[in-house]
Amino acid sequence: MVKQDALMESLSSNLHGFLKQIGANLRVPQKKFLRDGFVGLVRAGHPIVCQMGREIPNQRSRYTSRVKRLDLHLTAETDFDERVKESLPVIWLPLVTEDTPLILDLSDLAKPLARKMDYLATVRDGSTGDLVNGYWLVEIYASIARKNPFPILLEAFSHEAPDCPGQNPIVLNAVRRVFDLTDGRGVLVVDRGGDARVFLDDWLDHAYRFVVRLRGDRHFMQFYAVSEQGQWIPIEGRDLAERTPTPHRWSRVVKSKGREVLRISRVGWVTVRLPGRTDVLTMVVARSPGNDVPFMLLTTLPVQTPADAKRVLRYYIRRWECEEGIQFLKEQVNLEAIRTFRWTAICRLILLAMLVMLYLARLWENHLTLAERLIDYAQVLPHQVDFMFYRLLTGLMHVLNACFYLRKDLL
């Protein structure tokens, strides 16, 4: 049985501490907007200003005044975003170690019916595969624990914006900013597309550790002992993977359509170089029954034993957490429901949505007892689940609503 008053007091104190940390550099009006925007977004469930205005804590003022105040703060050309982002590492940076996966991904913010929003660009809708109007999102998550990704960077960009340098510079800049904060700690994990030469060269120049999935058309240099000294011969990645033996067996239990399934793979590896470079890399190759194309990963991590190769594969498996993270933001926070026209407001609402997910991740990692009490208060079905953010957000929303219904002062 959850004691409602005690839970509201605990949550209010915890949420106040979180907002105080990330709002340490803000001015007083900005701190009020941070509180109102966060609470309004959680209670409304949509990043829609008119709905958020109904749910913010200050109910003494008129509804039209609350909406106008929110809109002014969203569209104001201030340093609010920069000040908040400067404070975010206080939350996640102490949890990042040498072996923490830092998952990089590109997603989309599809707005197929939009016509007048600022800097609309053409993006590929990840749900349908169609080319529609919208914006691109660059996202980086720190996988502190399994199924608990910390969103450490989530930013929108548009090729139509006048100051947009292009997709590759934006991605490279995002990775550099994160590794500058971690002092090189962490292992970058990237899906296909991350094997572009411009990315690999930059990450090797900065000595970042990474695990990248290969498309197969990248050319490498393989060492052949054709003479006493031997030589490095160019070869396409797909051909090299076909020739690489995979003598080591790897089995794991995965969930597929609600059932546990045993999957068996064969694993091998080969040492390679990039043309024109002397950096030693490793291609890890995995084969599974029913798949004709071998699975290929390129890494800077040392691979000398089957355990090392399996470790590299586990890094890539954890990349799926970023897919669950962006799906959570689109389904539960309704990130794609943004309706404001102004580019500044769009970026600011995305930042508020990221803060909601960051708070839930912090709650699950550092305040497990309070998180479990929230889940109990939400009265969710007692099924075993891996991704707890849905349940945590439901509990958070119900407790905040209870505070307002009982006319208790929050924060």
Q: What are phi and psi of 212, to 5 degrees?
A: -125, 135
CATH 3.90.350.10 residue window(s) in the chain: 192-317
Per residue in 103-153, pLDDT (tens digit) is 999 999 999 999 999 999 999 988 888 999 999 999 999 998 877 899 999
The string of DSSP letters for 298-315 reads EESS---SHHHHHHHHHH
- Going through 306-374 in order, the beta strands assigned E by DSSP cover none
Query: 250: pLDDT confidence band, cut at 50, 70 and 90?
Result: confident
Over range 298-317, report the average pLDDT: 94
Q: How much is the pLDDT for 263?
A: 78
CB 74 within 8 A of CB 53: no
Query: 258: pLDDT confidence band, cut at 50, 70 and 90?
Result: low
Q: How far apart are CA 348 and CA 19, in angstroms?
A: 16
Q: Where are the alpha helices (DSSP H) in 206-319?
A: 237-243, 306-317
pTM: 0.93
Q: How much is the pLDDT for 330?
A: 92
Which residues are 232's β-sheet partners?
223
Alpha-carbon distances, residue 8 vs 2, 33, 272, 395 (angstroms):
10, 22, 57, 11
Per residue in 18-58, pLDDT (tens digit) is 999 999 999 999 999 999 999 999 999 999 999 999 888 76
Higher pLDDT, 9 or 289: 9
Q: How far apart are CA 102 and CA 83, in angstroms?
A: 23
Per residue in 188-210, pLDDT (tens digit) is 999 998 999 999 999 999 999 99
Q: How far apart are CA 372 and CA 134, in angstroms?
A: 37
Report the CATH architecture of 192-317. Answer: Alpha-Beta Complex (3.90)
> Residue 408 pLDDT more than 80?
no
Alpha-carbon distances, residue 114 vs 1, 269, 334, 352 (angstroms):
47, 48, 16, 21
CB 215 within 8 A of CB 195: yes
Following CA atoms 241, 247, 249, 254 in sequence, which dihedral angle do they give, to the nearest 10 degrees?
10
Q: How far apart are CA 240 and CA 222, in angstroms?
A: 8
